[in-house]
Structure 1
C-alpha cells in the first residue's frame, strides 16, 4: 500500500480484511463526488488489478459494451470480443478470470458502476448472474465497485431485492476529511498553513479532498479563493451544476432543495421544506434521503419533543459558499474575496460556518470534554415566541446530553483572538438557560460549554462558562 493515502484507516483495514479472507468478496465504495473513492482503491492496490474498467456517464449500452470489450482484450490478450449484452460481457470476464492463478485473490475493479446501467441494459441482472453463478463459489474473487451516484449504489446493490440480496460483503462510505485529516493532506502537499487558515479553508472546501488538490501551494488562501471562485473560468465557480447533475437524475429537485436549505442556517423540518419547494411527499423523501447519503445534508433530532420532526440542515460547505458568495456575485471583480474579506457579510458567514464545523466535529468536542467513552446524545433545540405564555424565542444549535444526567448547552463562537463575553451576553445566556429548563421541564444539571477558536478571555463574565473547547481540540481526530 502506498504512503500517499491520508486518513481512511478504517477503510484500508476493511480492504485488507477482504483481501486476506477465505471467501469471495463483493465490496462497494460510495460517497459524494470528489471525495476520493477512486483514489483510495488505486492507491491501496497500487493500481495492480486483474481487471479495471471505468463506466462513462451518458454512453449508450452499445458503447459501454464496446469499451468493456476493448479493455478486456487488453487484459486477456484475446484478439477481439463482440458482446450483444452484459451477459456476454460477464461471461467473457469469467472465462478470462478462470485462467488466472487460483492461489490468490483475483481483483476486479469497476469504477463508476452506476453509469454502466444505462437504459434497459439488464446490467444488474447480468451482474447478479455473474456473481451468484460463478464468482461467489470460487472463494478467491474480489470485486470492488465504486460510484458517486450513491442512491444507485445503495438501492441496486446494498438494497437489492433480487439475486444480489445480502451478497455485498463490505460497504465503505467515504466521508469528507476531518480538520486533522485536512491538515495532514495539506502538509503532504507542502502547504504548511496555520490552523486558523485551515479552519477558514474548511468553511469553503469542507474536507473534500479534490477541492484541496486544486489549491495552488505557492498562493495564499485568499488568492486561491479568488482564483477558484471569482474568475469566470474558476474551477469552483463552474463546479456546482456538474456536481448535482453528475450525481442525481432530475437534479433540479435536488438543487431546489439545497437552495431552500441554504437560506435557513438552522435547518427546516420536512413539512417546511415541502411547503417551500412544493414537491410531493414521496419524491421529497427520496430527494432528502439521497442528499443525506451523499453528505450534503444532516438530520438532527430536536431536544425534548419526540413528536416534533427532525431538523434537516444543509451541511455541504461548498454549496453554502456557492449560494452565499458565488452565484449572486455579478461584479466581475476577480479579486472579490481579497477585496471584501473584512466585510460584515464575510464575518457573519464565518460565524455561521464555524458553527457548522463544530457540529461536524462533535466527536472531537466530546473527546475534549473527556466524555467520548460515555453514552451521549447530540441534538438541537429551538422555541418560537409565545405571546400567551409571554416567552421569547430562543435557539441552541448543539446540545450534548450525558448518561450521568448532565447537559452541555454549547455556544460556538468564531473570532480572531480570545472571545470576550459581555455583560449583556451573559444575561442573555442565563435567561435562555432558564427558558430551556422551564420549557423542557428539565431536572438535569445544565452547563454552558464554549467552543471558540482561541478560548474565552478571563473576566467577571466568564463565570458562566463551565467548560471550554478550542480550535486545537477540533483538530484532535
Structure 2
C-alpha cells in the first residue's frame, strides 16, 4: 500500500523539482495537523540532508541552540560545535555543511514551522533572505523547502514578500484537508473499514485532518470513535480547540471570536455583520483577521450570485471547530456514551443538516461531475434575499451558474434513509426557485438539484420539480 494517500498534484510538484537544473525554493503551508511535514518527508525521504523545526514561542537563544544541536547530530561530530550568536552565523554553518553534498547530488534542506523561527527581533528573515540570495540561488542541486502552519504569515512574509524574497519562491503548495475519498482511503490504509455513511459522520465532526483521523480505531462505529476521541477525559481532541488557534495566531482571541460568531450563524455572515457581531474595527485589522483565517482553512468566503467580493459571505468551514462549539465546549455530559446519547437528540438532527451542507461545499468538483458538467465552465456562488415586510425571502447555499445557459440550484439534505419531499418542502423549493428567478431576472433555465445521503424518494412532489438526484456515494468519486 502506498505511504502517501491522495496528494497526487502536490506530490508531482515536489517530484518535478528533483529533475530541474536550478535552485528551488518551495513554500508549503496549510493548517495545523493537515500533513505538510509528512508529505515533504515521504516525498523527499532519500534526498533530505538537513531538517530543522522551529519551536513555538521559544527564545532566540533556544532556537539557535536547537539548530546547533540538530546540525551537530547530522554531522556526527565528536567535538562540540559552538552555538551561533545569530541567524547569519547559523546559515553560514549550514552552508559549510551542505556544500560537499551539493557538489554530487540533488539535496533537500527542510525548515519546518518556518514562522516560529522568525520571532520578534530575531533577525531570522533578513538573514535567510541574504543566505538565499547570496548563496542558495546559485546552487543548482539545492531544493530548499520551507513549511508553516501559520498560512497567512507564509503568504504575507514569504510568498508575497516585497523585500529580499520577492519572486524568489519557485513553487508553492497550499495543503488542504483530505476529501471524502481520501479520508476513506486513509482509513482503509489503517485497516478501518466503514461504509460511506459512517465516514461522512466522522468527516462532519473531525474533517479531513490526517492527524485526527489517525485516532480512529478499527471495529468501532463512527459514533463510538467520536465518543472516545472527543468526550472521554483522555480523548485526543478534548483540548485541541484552544491549542489550535493559540499556536497559529498572535492575537488568537480575535480569531476565535470570529470563529464563534460564524459557528453560531451556519448561513454565514458578511464582513459588515462580522464586525458588528465581534465588535471589531472597520479598518485593515478586520481584513487581516479574515485573510488569516481564510488562508489557514478555518473559514471560507462565498461570493454571492452576481455580486463582487465586497459582498462575500463568510462561513465556518473547519469541521472540528464547528463540532466543538456546538457539542463539546459547554457540554455537561462527558465520558463514554456521551456522543451516543447526543447523536440521538433534536439538536444533532439540526446540526447534521448544516454540517452536511458544509461537506458538500467542500466537494463541488464531485457534484459537478455527478451532474455531468465537469467540462462546463461554471461559477459557484451562494444567494440570499432578505425581503421587506410581507414579502417571501429565500436562501441558496450553493448554485452553479453555467456557461451552457443553465443554473443548477443545489439543496443538501442529510438523513439516515432516502429523503422524502412532502407538500410543505415542495412549496419551499418552488418559492426558492421563483424568488431567485424574479429577483435576479436571470433568463437561464433553472434546475433544482437534490444532494442527499441515500437519494430522494420518487413521489408526486419530486417528479417535475427535481431535475437531478445526487447521492452520498457520488461525493466519494
Q: What is the CA deviation profile of residues 366-394 of structure 1, one whole-angstrom value per residue up to 9, with x for unaligned ones?
A: 0111111111011111111212xx42121
Secondary structure of 2:467's counterpart equals strand
Q: Which range is displaced more, 286-295 or 302-311?
A: 302-311
Q: Quote how far apart the aligned CAs of 1:331 are.
A: 2.7
Q: Partners in 2 of 1:385 and 1:308 — Cα distance?
A: 21
Aligned to 1:35: 34
SS of structure 2 residue aligned to 1:461 = coil
Task: Tell me the CA shift for residue 48 of structure 1.
Answer: 4.6
Name 2:455's counterpart in structure 1: 455
Could you tell me how far apart the structure 2 residues matched to 1:308 and 1:96 are?
A: 50
CA distance in 1, matches of 2:307, 2:296: 28
Aligned to 1:260: 261
> In 2 relative to 1, CA 426–308 (structure 1 residues): closer, same or farther, beyond 3 Å?
farther
Q: Is the 8 A contact 1:61 1:119 kept in 2?
A: no
CA distance in 1, matches of 2:168, 2:249: 25
The count of corresponding residues between Structure 1 and Structure 2 is 473
Map residues 434-453 of structure 1 onto 2, 5 A cutoff. 434-453=434-453
Task: Describe the superposition over 1:140-169 as per-residue Cα deviations: whole angstroms up to 9, x where unpaired.
Answer: 111111111112211111111111110010
2:111 is paired with a residue of what secondary structure? strand
More displaced, 219-228 or 90-99?
219-228
Cα deviation for residue 101 of structure 1 reads 4.8
Match of 2:375 in 1: 373
What is aligned with 1:410? Answer: 410
- Secondary structure, in 3 states, of the residue corresponding to 2:314? strand
Hey, what's the Cα distance between the residues in 1 that align with 2:76 and 2:48? 15
Segments of 5+ residues of structure 2 without an aligned counterpart are none
Counterpart for residue 46 of structure 1: 45
**Selected match of 1:313 from 303, 312, 315:** 315
The alpha carbon displacement at 1:75 in A equals 2.1
Tell whether the 8 Å contact from 1:302 to 1:308 is kept in structure 2 after alignment: no
Q: What CA distance in whole angstroms lies between the structure 2 residues aligned with 1:307 and 1:65?
A: 43
> Which shifted more, 218-227 or 150-159?
218-227
2:342 & 2:68 partners in 1: Cα distance? 54
Do the aligned partners of 1:107 and 1:143 also contact (CA within 8 Å) in 2? yes
- Structure-1 residue corresponding to 2:392: 392
Tell me how far 1:396 sits from its aligned partner: 1.0
> What is residue 365 of structure 2 aligned with on the other side?
363
Report the Cα offset of residue 340 of structure 1.
2.7
Other-structure match for 2:5: 6
Give 1:432 shift: 2.2
Q: Which residue pairs with 2:349 in the alignment?
A: 347
Q: Secondary structure at the match of 1:299?
A: strand
Task: Give the drift of 1:334.
Answer: 3.6
Bigger mean CA deviation after superposition, 427-436 or 345-354: 427-436
Structure 2 match to 1:211: 212
Question: Which residue of structure 2 lines up, in the alignment, with residue 424 of structure 1?
Answer: 424
Which residue of the partner structure matches residue 325 of structure 2? 323
Q: 1:101 to 1:425 in 2, by over 3 A?
A: closer
Question: For residue 101 of structure 2, what is the aligned residue in structure 1?
Answer: 100
Q: Are residues 1:65 and 2:60 paired?
A: no
1:119, distance to aligned residue in structure 2 (A) = 2.3
Secondary structure, counterpart of 1:115 in structure 2: helix
Root-mean-square deviation (CA, aligned residues, Å) is 1.4
> Structure 1 residues 177-186 or 54-63, which shifts more?
54-63
Secondary structure, counterpart of 2:315 in structure 1? strand
Report the alpha carbon displacement of residue 428 of structure 1 after superposing the two structures with TM: 2.1
Q: Deviation at 1:304?
A: 3.4
Q: Which deviates more from structure 2 when the two are superposed, residues 100-109 or residues 54-63?
A: 100-109
Greater shift after overlay, 434-443 or 286-295? 434-443
User: What corresponds to 1:228 in structure 2?
Assistant: 229
CA distance in 2, matches of 1:432, 1:186: 39
Structure-2-length-normalised TM-score: 0.96
Q: Tell me the secondary structure at the aligned position of residue 461 of structure 2.
A: helix
The residue aligned with 1:91 is 92
Return the alpha-carbon distance in structure 2 between the equivalents of residues 118 and 128 of structure 1. 15
Output one character per residue of 1:398-444: Cα deviation in whole Å (capped at 9) or x when no partner.
Answer: 11110011001111111111111112221221122111111111211
